[in-house]
Amino acid sequence: MDRRTWYFVIAGLIVALLFAVVVSQFASDDPDGLEYVAEQQGFLDTAEDHSLGDAPLADYGGNLGGSDRMNTAIAGIAGVAVTLAAGWGLFWLARRSGLGATSEPKDG
């Protein structure tokens, strides 16, 4: 892959980290659209507790025990790293494993 595209990926990752670590600190705590409607329409209480709700990063770091700011930052960095790795790995596998391979050249 050419150098300019690598630069683009790195620059994009820096922006993603800025969102996950800094901008996320200013996120609204109000319920999102679905939660809001569920409460208004009286079916929010049919929601069950999440089966992985005790995991360390559950609720974006809520169980980490540090300050809110630090928990959100750690959750943001972890989430960006895992989604990057999972996305990259999945697409790499899809291309390499010959899934959907045809006789056409792939780098057309």
Partner 1 sequence: MHIPDGFINGTTSAAAGVVAAGGVGAALRQTGRYLNERQVPLAGLVAAFVFAAQMFNFPVLGGMSGHLLGGVLAAVLVGPWAGLLIITVVLLVQAVLFADGGLSALGLSTINMGFIGAMLGYLIYRVVLRVTSRATNGVAVAAGFAAFLSVPLAAMGFVVQFAIGGVAASSTGTVLTAMLGTHLLIGVGEGILTALVIGAVMASRPDLVYGVPRYQGNRTEALV
**Segment 11-70, which members bind partner 1 (CB under 8 A)?**
12-13, 15-17, 19-20, 23-24, 26-34, 36-38, 40-43, 46-48, 50-53, 55, 57-60
> Cβ of residue 41: shortest distance to partner 1, in angstroms?
5
CA distance 48 to 9: 39
Which of 65, 71, 74, 94 lies at the binding interface for partner 1 (CB under 8 A)? Answer: 94
> Cβ of residue 60: shortest distance to partner 1, in angstroms?
6
- For the CA atoms of 47, 51, 53, 59, the dihedral, rounded to the nearest 10 degrees, stands at -60
> Cβ of residue 67: shortest distance to partner 1, in angstroms?
17
CA distance 92 to 5: 16
Q: Residue 91 interacts with partner 1 (CB under 8 A)?
A: yes
Q: Which two tokens stand for residue 96?
A: 């390499």
The answer to whether residues 41 and 100 touch, using CB atoms and an 8 Å cutoff, is no
First-to-final CA distance of the chain: 14
Which of 3, 4, 66, 70 lies at the binding interface for partner 1 (CB under 8 A)? Answer: 4
